[in-house]
Amino acid sequence: MYRSHTCGELREEHIDNIVTLSGWVHKTRDKGFVVWIDLRDRFGITQLIFDEERTSKELLEQARSLGREFVIQIKGTVLERASKNANIPTGNIEVLVQELTILNESKTPPFTIEDDTDGGEDIRMKYRYLDIRRNTVKNNLIFRSKVSMEVRKYLSDGGFIEVETPYLIKSTPEGARDFVVPSRMNEGQFYALPQSPQTFKQLLMVGGMDKYFQIVKCFRDEDLRADRQPEFTQIDCEMAFVEQEDILNAFEGLTKHLLKEIKGIDITSFPRVTYDDAMAKYGNDKPDIRFGMEFGELNAVAQHKEFNVFNTAELVVGIAIPGAATYTRKEIDKLIDWIRRPQVGAKGMVYVKCNEDGSFKSSVDKFYDQEDLANWAKVTGAKAGDLICVLSGDTNATRAQLSALRMEMAERLGLRKPEEFAPLWVIDFPLLELDEETGNYHAMHHPFTSPKPGQLELLDTNPGAVKANAYDLVLNGNEIGGGSIRIHDKETQATMFKHLGFTPEEAKAQFGFLMDAFQYGAPPHGGIAFGLDRLVSILGGQETIRDFIAFPKNNSGRDVMIDAPAPIDDEQLKELRLQLNLES
Ligand code: ASP
């Protein structure tokens, strides 16, 4: 038996017990006549004591020889500590060691296994297994496990069946590029790794599984953006005989359950906002509603004066920044510089200071009188002491720019509190999205999403206006889930593929299996998928998903620990009948 207790377990009630512990040497303090060792495992730290009075000379010498991160087993007696440590649960006791076995030695680790480590990101990624010994990473992984367990509990109690779907599949177009795997046995042919189990979960509904879920790895070969991983985990769900309302209720329930069980928070408000309203009010389809600063559209009260910049703009829109009327000229100029950065891309900004005495001072006083500005304040909801920031131009671009300013100001004002949670649904997404570059429409969610009832006809006349039975779950400015009610008849699915630019042959070649299945009594169905990595990191109050993944890839998609991706040897290539052509 390696141990009778863990290193986090012993308390005053164990005093005088003889115990066996195993763990890592966290720290050694040698005072000459007495040596203390902090022994660590996943569960905590227990102080071991060796001293000249009670410990044999050999044992004391052996204790002194132990290096950091040696793996040892000890047998000893639990004693009351003379000087107690209230900071750790085992701080009232220590173990006087009688026997010590070295289970394994350790090289000196390249960084300290402490909460505040001296190791930089790169070295910690290379030695991730050592990083996992640190509380920070360890606790994140435990936290993730807890979230997953609660998800399983909630869904399983709700009658969902967990089903595994294959990883070696055929390409499904979900917007990103596929990772492909060559097939040795089928020369010249490739599997694709799933971007999501979308078609399989729909086939499970045709198969009568009724309620499916899976906590599943998905793979997308995208150019890496900050905090994206080429492989990530989804909580993937599908239900049969449901309308949008049923799905929203079920997963509102899951969100509330998680916030209650994990964070102890009771969510009472779970608003639903249409995509159009979200864009108009927040300039964003994943709004952070923990704070106000909603957009006020000013066309009616700011156009038709002498100010041409506004008169020629498609949209004039402002937000009121709380308490910012005191900004100096210099501070405002800095803000203008910020929104002019290429990442934001605004040309300029008009501002109005709402003075405490009820008067207004603006950068466009030449064109607008106090009454005009009072109207602006009304529309943007500005109060005395606020600063109204106004942008203008093309509707979509201006909204995006003002949204960036809104988020930035909220961040600066400390309004994005990590321990506050404000979920909402964004519903009624457009079915199609215009690709500005090619002029083609593609599915905003995916090609299996159904249009709102009665809108199918619109596809021919005004495709951009068709709304979908699609919804996103948004939490604190992040899209944490998205799904839709699916098409479940062959004709509609064929129409959809046609509008997405597939010839009937292409549609059949790629999705014949799904359309065939739809001919055998496919029930109405719909579903959703949540990004587990993101969900966990938001619940954990942290920004980066990498902190919650045991073995993440870096920003170039590399695992620097195992050094992947890597070339394969010629033998393997030959077997796969692949030839590299790196020049072209
Ligand atoms: N398969 C979709 C996704 O990965 C989710 C869904 O529609 O259920 O985003």
Name all domains of the chain by residue range, CATH numbers in brackets.
Answer: 12-104 (2.40.50.140), 138-164+194-272+422-558 (3.30.930.10), 291-412 (3.30.1360.30)
The Cα–Cα gap between 578 and 582 comes to: 12
Q: What percentage of the chain carries pLDDT values higher than 90?
A: 91
Nearest-atom number in ligand 1 for the CA of 201 is 8
Residue 174 — very low, low, confident or very high, per pLDDT cuts 50/70/90? low
The count of other CB atoms within 10 Å of the CB of residue 301 is 19
Please give the structure tokens belonging to residue 304. 């038709």
Q: What number of other Cβ atoms are within 10 A of residue 307's Cβ?
A: 19
- For residue 208, pLDDT over 80 is answered with yes
- Helices of type H across 162-293: 198-206, 244-263, 275-282
Between strands 44-51 and 296-297, the pairing is: unpaired
Per-residue pLDDT tens over the stretch 431-468: 999 888 888 888 999 999 999 988 988 888 898 999 99
Q: How confident is the model at residue 172 (pLDDT cuts 50, 70, 90)?
A: low
Q: Give the span between the Cα atoms of 235 and 216, in whole angstroms.
A: 6
198 lines ligand 1 (CB under 6 A): yes
| Nearest CA-CA partner of 174 in 202, 215, 214, 148 | 202
pLDDT at 454: 87
**Are 349 and 339 spatial neighbours (Cβ–Cβ below 8 Å)?**
yes
CB atoms within 10 A of CB 19: 18
Interval 244-290: pLDDT, tens: 999 999 999 999 999 999 999 999 999 999 999 999 999 999 999 99
Percent of the chain with pLDDT over 70: 99
- Quote the ligand 1 centre to 527 CA distance (angstroms): 8
Ligand 1 pocket residue status of 76, Cβ below 6 Å: no
Q: 127-156 pLDDT, tens per residue?
A: 999 999 999 999 999 999 999 999 999 999
Over range 468-474, report the average pLDDT: 98
Residue nearest to atom 1 of ligand 1 (CA): 198
CA of 198 to the centre of ligand 1 (A): 6
Residue 205 Cα distances to 160, 170, 248, 252, 514, angstroms: 12, 19, 18, 22, 11
CA 45 to ligand 1 centroid distance, Å: 43
What interhelical angle do 395-412 and 275-282 show, nearest 10? 60
CA of 316 to the centre of ligand 1 (A): 35
Average pLDDT value for the chain = 95
Residue nearest to atom 3 of ligand 1 (CA): 529
pLDDT score, position 2: 98
User: Is the link from the previous residue into 552 a cis peptide, with omega within 30 of 0?
Assistant: no
CA-based Rg of the chain, rounded to a whole angstrom? 30
pLDDT value at residue 478 = 95
- For residue 194 and ligand 1, the question of a CB distance below 6 A is answered with no
User: Which parts of 67-181 fold into alpha helices (H)?
Assistant: 121-126, 128-131, 135-157
Confidence of residue 173 (pLDDT cuts 50, 70, 90): low
Average pLDDT over residues 32-55: 97
pLDDT at position 125: 96
Give the per-residue pLDDT at 225.
Answer: 76
**Are the CB atoms for 281 and 287 separated by under 8 Å?**
yes
Report DSSP letters for 417-437, one per residue: -TT---EEEEE--BSEEE-TT
Q: Could you give the angle at the alpha carbon of 193 between the alpha carbons of 238 and 255, nearest 5°? A: 35
Q: Measured from the CB, is residue 529 less than 6 Å from ligand 1?
A: yes
Beta strand ranges found along 275-321 (DSSP E): 296-297, 315-321
The single-letter code of the amino acid at 215 is I
**Separation of CA 228 and ligand 1 centre (Å):** 17
> Counting atoms of ligand 1 from 1, which one is nearest the CA of 528?
8
Mutate to test the pocket of ligand 1, among 160, 203, 216, 234 (most ligand atoms within 8 A of CB): 234
Flag whether pLDDT at 584 surpasses 80: no
- 234 Cα nearest atom in ligand 1: 4
CB-CB contact of 39 with 93 (8 Å): no
SS3 7: coil
Q: Is the CB of 528 under 6 A from ligand 1?
A: yes
Write down the residue that tokens 């979200």 correspond to.
278
Residue 436 structure tokens: 């500005």
pLDDT tier at 211 (50, 70, 90 boundaries)? very high
Q: How far apart are the first and last CA of the chain?
A: 60
Residue whose Cα lies nearest atom 4 of ligand 1: it is: 196
- Going from the Cα of 437 to the center of ligand 1, the distance in angstroms, rounded, reads 25
Q: Measured between alpha carbons, how far is residue 420 from residues 289, 415, 538 in Å?
A: 10, 10, 10
Q: Are strands 360-362 and 350-354 parallel, antiparallel or unpaired?
A: antiparallel
- Tell me which residue of 234, 366, 376 sits closest to 299, measured CA to CA: 376
**How many angstroms separate the CA atoms of 263 and 169, rounded?**
38
pLDDT tens per residue, range 88-100:
999 999 999 999 9
Secondary structure (DSSP) of 510-556: HHHHHHHHTTTTPPPEEEEEEEHHHHHHHHTT-S-GGGG-SS---TT
Please give the torsion angle defined by the CA atoms of residues 436, 441, 446 and 451, in that order, rounded to the nearest 10 degrees: 130
Mean pLDDT of the region 502-511:
92
| pLDDT surpassing 90 at residue 407 | yes
Q: 299-324: per-residue pLDDT in tens?
A: 999 998 999 999 999 999 999 999 99
Give yes or no for residue 356 having a pLDDT over 80: yes
30 bridge partner residues: 35
Please state the pTM of the whole predicted model. Answer: 0.94
Q: Which atom of ligand 1 is nearest to the CA of 195?
A: 4
Give the position, in ligand 1's atom list, of the atom nearest the Cα of 237: 8
Tell whether ligand 1 has an atom less than 6 A from the beta carbon of residue 382: no
527: Cβ below 6 Å to ligand 1?
yes
Q: From the CA of 483, how far away is ligand 1's center (Å)?
A: 5
Pairing of strands 93-104, 432-434: unpaired
If one counts every other C-beta atom within 10 angstroms of the C-beta of residue 242, the result is: 21
Tell me, in angstroms, the distance from the centre of ligand 1 to residue 482's CA.
6
